Amino acid sequence: MTDCTVEELKQRIDDGKAPVLIDVRETEEVALCAIPGAVHVPMGDIPSRLMELEEHAEEEVVVYCHHGVRSANVQAFLKNHGFENVRNLVGGIDAWSLRADPSTPRY
């Protein structure tokens, strides 16, 4: 269970069972749009903020970016640092805006 679809995430959020969401995009990107409830930690800051994130190491974590490439790298990094249930949002926030929440602006 390494990937999460936007449809699955939307259903989980709607059901009140949202995983920990980590948005690894840059600040300028987050200013354009974001998935509500996500924690913003830019990809480049993940190593220096790892201790802060470790409180979620036992929980389900879903990481996302614009299209899913950066978040896949962060997923691998977190797995290598003891996160057992970290998943990548397939297609990122772009897929989210297309298939889960059309009110989310695309860029």
Q: Is residue 106 part of a domain?
A: no
pTM for the model stands at 0.96
SS (H, E, C) the chain: CCEECHHHHHHHHHCCCCCEEEECCCHHHHHHCCCCCCEECCHHHCCCCHHHHHHHCCCCEEEECCCCHHHHHHHHHHHHCCCCCEEEECCHHHHHHHHHCCCCCCC
Q: What pLDDT, on the 0 to 100 scale, is given for residue 107?
A: 96
Q: Is residue 59 part of a domain?
A: yes
Mean pLDDT by 10 residues, the chain (107 residues): 92 97 98 97 98 95 98 97 96 98 96
CATH number for the domain that contains residue 23: 3.40.250.10
What is the domain count for the chain?
A: 1
Instruction: Give me the active site residues, please.
Output: 65
